[in-house]
Homo-oligomer: A and B are copies of this chain.
Amino acid sequence: MDKESLSIVKIGGNIVDNPEALELFLADFHHLKGRKLLIHGGGVLASRMAAQLGIETKMEQGRRITDAETLKLVTMVYAGWINKNIVAALQKIGCNAIGLSGADGNAIPALRRSPIPVDYGYVGDPDPKKVNADFLSQLIESGITPVFCAITHDGNGSLLNTNADTIAYSLATALSGKYETSLYYCFEKEGVLKDVNDPQSMIPSMDRAESEAYKKQGIIADGMIPKLDNSFRAIENGVKEVIILHARNLLSKRGTILVKNQYLSDII
Contact partner of A80 (CB less than 8 A), chosen from B76, B144, B153, is: B76
B75 near A84 with CB under 8 A, answer yes
Q: Which residues of chain B are within 8 angstroms of A96 by Cβ–Cβ distance?
A: 105-106
Q: Count identical subunits in the complex.
A: 2
In the complex the two chains form, what is the Cα distance from A83 to B101 in whole Å? 10
A156 in complex: contacting residue of B92, B97, B157, B159, CB < 8 Å: B92
Establish whether residues A103 and B88, one from each chain, have CB atoms under 8 Å apart when the complex forms: yes
Determine chain A's interface SS by DSSP, over half rule.
helix
Q: Interface size on A (CB < 8 Å)?
A: 39
Q: Is the CB of A79 within 8 A of B83?
A: yes
Flag whether A150 is at the interface (Cβ < 8 A): no
Instruction: Type the 1/0 row for A159-196, where 1 means its CB is closer than 8 Å to any CB of B.
Output: 10000000000000000000000000000000000000
CA distance A158 to B103 in the complex (A): 25
Nearest CB in chain B to that of A26: its residue: B157
The 8 Å CB contact of A87, one of B52, B81, B103, B138, is B103
Residues of chain A at the chain B interface (Cβ within 8 Å): 52-53, 72, 75-81, 83-85, 87-89, 91-92, 96-101, 103-106, 135, 138, 142, 144, 151, 153, 155-159
20 pairs from A and B in contact (CB 8 Å cutoff): A53-B53, A75-B84, A75-B85, A76-B76, A76-B80, A77-B80, A78-B80, A79-B81, A79-B99, A84-B103, A87-B101, A87-B104, A87-B153, A88-B157, A88-B158, A91-B155, A98-B105, A99-B101, A105-B144, A138-B142
